[in-house]
């Protein structure tokens, strides 16, 4: 349909300087009027380019109003949603409850699903950016941010539902990931074999539940992360560790800001790095987590997100010829927490080479040796896993965990993690809707030639 101006005039932008309840009423009224103007352009799938640009402009102009409201009241919103920090909500639960409790301030699940149904990242209007902005303000507040971190370190419901089965059988198939108990080892395997063990919304959810099961099973002392055998003709019958984010899914709008980009860092990776929060206290200085050391066994490569995972491992072994990289400049977004963690492994200069100049790190090179601890022939990988994991707890499990915590305290205190997460939530949401990201995907990945 042609882009015609809505008949209703834009409401006056509210100034938020009153009590919380009064400012909420003003915000809800203002954003209700905004949605009426957007609806005047018709359904999203029927809008022409001019109409889509007009709607994007309205949403972008309104973002400054949301920023003003969140800057003043995000902590009060969080307090309401969590019943004064007595409820523990995952990021997805928080943002969608907020959308219902405070209409207009955040997109509803229905609005996000409607955008996803357009099946093109380039066709979306960027409503997820508002979720990133809100989460940035939540994480920027010391009390709310710490509470959110610990809420995300609780076991997923799926893991709790499958725990009895896993304890009984020692195996659990979660679809895109499996977890198996092998003596004192809990082996998590990424099995997204159709996509070269790439990560997407489904794979990350399965991996996090698998990690939960390893951490919850008292018989397991060490976690091991591997890639399963894939279907790709080039690697048929072989294991592949991790090929990073599923760029085809990203191009077609199937990668979510909340369930993938934010919950992956606060959930999956942070649980491997810190463990599960099972205490009644979430004081930053206590490091009071149920945690276990982790080893990664890299077959073929660890690309992008796979390389990010290596930054939280206690031990990395790889087969000859394996390599690691962070192709952020090819993709156009922030490579997770690699900007915080990768410099600790390779130094700031080489980290910049990897992030900005696509440098690849061969496992057998001196630089790759800063990421990988041991080179192991593929046919001896199982033997090497058993030997390395035994060494990791040789001093005793209690001692291993105590030393692991002590090493982490100086490297990445929760205050640093929280600060990074605040910046990441906002900046990554902007990257996700930058035209350069779409152009990069079309030029470097050619997703139109690939199947879903």
Q: Mean pLDDT, to the nearest integer, of 166-173? A: 98
Given pLDDT bands bounded at 50, 70 and 90, which one contains residue 9?
low
Greater confidence (446 vs 254) lies with: 254
User: pLDDT tens-digit profile of 262-321?
Assistant: 999 999 999 999 999 988 776 767 888 999 999 999 999 999 999 999 999 999 999 999
CATH architecture of 157-412: Alpha-Beta Complex (3.90)
Given pLDDT bands bounded at 50, 70 and 90, which one contains residue 450?
confident
How far from the centroid of its chain's Cα atoms is residue 136's Cα?
14
How far from the centroid of its chain's Cα atoms is residue 129's Cα?
15
Rounded Cα distance between 151 and 78, Å, is 13
DSSP state of 157: H
Q: Give the pLDDT of residue 10.
A: 62
Specify which of 7-16, 218-227, 431-440 reaches the highest per-range mean pLDDT.
218-227
Rounded Cα distance between 142 and 230, Å, is 43
Rounded Cα distance between 391 and 373, Å, is 13
Q: Give the pLDDT of residue 44.
A: 84
Q: Give the pLDDT of residue 446.
A: 76
- For the chain, the average pLDDT equals 94
Given pLDDT bands bounded at 50, 70 and 90, which one contains residue 7?
very low
Whether residue 8 is predicted with pLDDT greater than 60 in this model: the reply is no
Least confident window among 15-19, 48-52, 66-70, 306-310: 48-52
Q: Is 360 helix (H, G, I), strand (E, B) or coil?
A: strand
Greater confidence (9 vs 194) lies with: 194
How far from the centroid of its chain's Cα atoms is residue 176's Cα?
16
Given pLDDT bands bounded at 50, 70 and 90, which one contains residue 1?
very low
The DSSP line for 161-219 is HHHHHHHHHSEEE-SSEEEEEETTEEEEEE--GGGTT-B-HHHHHHHHHHHHHHHH-TT
Q: Give the pLDDT of residue 136.
A: 98
For the chain, give every domain's residue range: 20-152, 157-412
Rounded Cα distance between 393 and 313, Å, is 15
- The percent of residues in the chain predicted with pLDDT above 70, rounded, is 96
259 with 319: CB under 8 angstroms? no
Q: Mean pLDDT, to the nearest integer, of 228-250? A: 95
331 with 345: CB under 8 angstroms? no
Q: Which CATH class is domain 20-152?
A: mainly alpha
Given pLDDT bands bounded at 50, 70 and 90, which one contains residue 2?
very low
- The percent of residues in the chain predicted with pLDDT above 90, rounded, is 84
Q: Give the pLDDT of residue 280.
A: 76
> 64 CB contacts (<8 Å, ≥6 apart)?
none
Task: Dump strand ranges (E) for 218-347.
Answer: 222-227, 276-277, 289-290, 294-298, 301-303, 315-318, 323-325
User: pLDDT tens-digit profile of 89-117?
Assistant: 999 999 999 999 999 999 999 999 999 99
Q: Is 106 helix (H, G, I), strand (E, B) or coil?
A: strand
* Plot region of 47 (φ>0 → left; ψ -120 to 50 → alpha; else → beta): beta
Q: Give the pLDDT of residue 363.
A: 98
User: pLDDT tens-digit profile of 142-167?
Assistant: 999 999 999 999 999 999 999 999 99
Q: Mean pLDDT, to the nearest integer, of 191-198? A: 95
| CB contact burial 216-233 (16+ within 10 A = b; e otherwise) | bbeebbbbbbbbbebeee
Q: How many CB atoms are closer than 10 A to CB 281?
A: 9
Q: Give the pLDDT of residue 6.
A: 47
Least confident window among 22-31, 223-232, 439-448: 439-448
221 with 282: CB under 8 angstroms? no
266 with 152: CB under 8 angstroms? yes
Task: Give me 172's structure tokens.
Answer: 């659990």
Helices (H) then strands (E): counts for the chain:
19, 12
Q: Mean pLDDT, to the nearest integer, of 42-55? A: 88
434 with 354: CB under 8 angstroms? no
């Amino acid at each position: 349909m042609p882009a015609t101006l809505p008949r209703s005039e834009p409401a006056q932008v509210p100034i938020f300087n009153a009590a919380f309840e009064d400012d909420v009423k003003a915000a809800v009224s203002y954003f209700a009027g905004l949605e009426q103007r957007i609806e005047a352009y018709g359904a999203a799938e029927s809008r022409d380019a001019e109409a889509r640009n007009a709607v994007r402009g309205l949403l972008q102009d309104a973002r400054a109003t949301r920023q003003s409201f969140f800057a003043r009241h995000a902590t009060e919103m969080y307090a309401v949603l969590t019943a004064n920090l007595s409820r523990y909500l995952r990021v997805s639960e928080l943002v969608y409850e907020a959308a219902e409790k405070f209409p207009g301030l955040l997109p509803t699940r229905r609005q996000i699903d409607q955008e996803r149904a357009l099946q093109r990242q380039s066709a979306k209007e960027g409503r997820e950016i508002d979720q990133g902005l809100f989460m940035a303000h939540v994480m920027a507040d010391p009390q709310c941010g710490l509470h959110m971190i610990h809420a995300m370190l609780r076991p997923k419901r799926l893991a709790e539902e499958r725990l009895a089965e896993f304890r009984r059988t020692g195996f659990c198939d979660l679809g895109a990931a499996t977890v198996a108990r092998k003596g004192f080892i809990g082996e998590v395997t990424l099995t997204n074999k159709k996509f070269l063990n790439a990560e997407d919304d489904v794979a990350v959810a399965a991996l996090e539940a698998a990690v939960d099961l390893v951490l919850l099973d008292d018989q397991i002392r060490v976690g091991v992360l591997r890639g399963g055998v894939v279907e790709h003709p080039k690697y048929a019958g072989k294991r592949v560790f991790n090929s990073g984010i599923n760029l085809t899914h990203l191009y077609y709008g199937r990668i979510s800001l909340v369930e993938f980009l934010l919950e992956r860092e606060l959930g999956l990776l942070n649980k491997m790095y810190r463990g599960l929060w099972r205490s009644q206290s979430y004081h930053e200085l206590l490091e009071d987590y149920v945690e276990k050391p982790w080893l990664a066994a890299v077959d073929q490569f660890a690309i992008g997100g796979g390389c990010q995972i290596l930054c939280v491992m206690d031990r990395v072994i790889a087969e000859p010829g394996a390599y690691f990289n962070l192709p952020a400049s090819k993709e156009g977004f922030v490579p997770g927490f690699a900007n915080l963690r990768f410099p600790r492994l390779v130094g700031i200069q080489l980290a910049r080479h990897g992030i900005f100049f696509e440098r690849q790190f061969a496992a057998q090179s001196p630089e790759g040796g800063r990421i990988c601890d041991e080179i192991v022939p593929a046919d001896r990988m199982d033997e090497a896993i058993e030997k390395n994991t035994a060494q990791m707890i040789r001093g005793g499990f209690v001692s291993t965990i105590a030393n692991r915590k002590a090493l982490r305290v100086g490297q990445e205190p929760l205050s640093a993690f929280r600060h990074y997460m605040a910046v990441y939530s906002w900046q990554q949401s902007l990257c996700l809707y930058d035209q350069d990201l779409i152009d990069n995907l079309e030029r470097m990945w050619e997703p139109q030639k690939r199947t879903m």
